[in-house]
Amino acid sequence: MQKLIITAALTGAEVTREQQPTLPVTPDEIAAAAKECCDAGASIVHVHARDAAGEPTQDIAVYREIKEKIEACCNVIFQPSTGGAVWHSPEERLQPVELKPEMSTLSCGTCNFGGDVFMNTESYMEKFAARMKELGVKPELEIFERGMIENALKLAKKGLVEAPLHFDFVLGVPGACPATPEDLLLMKNAIPAGSTWTVAGIGRHELSLGTMAILLGGHVRVGFEDNIFYSKGVLATSNAQLVARMVRLAKELGREVATPDEAREILGIKK
Ligand code: KMH
Ligand code: ZN
């Protein structure tokens, strides 16, 4: 089995400091959280930027500052979001790709997202994929519903994303695919052989689906974007605490954890 790639989704666009007092928000806090997670065993950090007021922003200048600060303190793979918040325009969302990060996310379809709609039309998916290809950015294909895998395969057929494909199954978003073991198996069994996949279980499902991924040969995403709790009613003290738990589980279950360079090798990323 491949070594386990752990992604830390540090901040997200929806969580607030009121909900999670240790949420990293400023570039300095996000870089410090990235280093702590890398030291704990994460090889990728999935990053959403916030502005000076703590609101989600896709401003390239803020992403640049975060990228430089992370690169100055650790070797972790920087993966900015192109999902942003539901109210960001596609043009705003695409900005961090211009920094030529090693990876970035690419959402593969439209779905309900709580009380909102997360909009990803075919033409914008194609535009995002084409720009990532031009700039040599490895896409992480974000899958919130089963049909989105077909959209991703359509992008592959058009040559806009290239094998080996890397998927992230985001399961348990209210309004989208639930986070059951059966749903994870459905997704995992629907992707082409030779692809890699990770799972982001929302809320309490982070732990159960992450454990399944360790056993099934997938990879795992944890962090405050997806889950702010350590256990029922108990807030996590940091993103790194959630990473450290996955490292312990992987060791108990006999799965080695990848370093950032090993993750690059697994994902076919040339630094
Ligand atoms: N915040 C969500 C609306 C991504 O980062 O690529 C979208 C999202 C996906 O978080
Ligand atoms: Zn995200």
pLDDT per position as a tens digit, 49-60: 999 999 999 999
ipTM surpasses 0.90: yes
DSSP secondary structure of 38-56: HHHT-SEEEE-EE-TTS-E
pLDDT per position as a tens digit, 98-111: 999 999 999 999 99
Is 41 domain-assigned?
yes
Instruction: Provide the domain limits for residue 184.
Output: 6-267
Q: SS3 helix, strand, coil % of the chain, rounded to 5? A: 40, 20, 40
**Which of 118, 137, 144, 224 has most ligand 1 atoms within 8 Å of CB, for mutation?**
118
pLDDT per position as a tens digit, 1-43: 999 999 999 999 999 999 999 999 999 999 999 999 999 999 9
Q: Is the pLDDT of residue 271 over 90?
A: no
- What average pLDDT is seen over the chain? 98
Residue 70: both structure tokens together: 């992370």
Ligand nearest to the CA of 116: 1
Is 52 domain-assigned?
yes
Of ligand 1's atoms, which has the minimum distance to the CA of residue 82?
A: 6
Is 50 domain-assigned?
yes
Q: What is the CATH number of the domain that holds 190?
A: 3.20.20.70
Tell me how far apart the alpha carbons of residues 32 and 257 are, in angstroms, rounded to a whole number. 21
Count of structural domains, the chain = 1
Is 46 domain-assigned?
yes
Residue 252: both structure tokens together: 């108990």
Ligand nearest to the CA of 88: 1
Is 25 domain-assigned?
yes
Is 1 domain-assigned?
no
Is 30 domain-assigned?
yes
Is 212 domain-assigned?
yes
String of b and e for 194-227 (b: at least 16 CB within 10 Å)? Answer: ebbbbbbbbeebbbbbbbbbbeeebbbbbbbbbb
Tell me how far apart the alpha carbons of residues 147 and 151 are, in angstroms, rounded to a whole number. 7
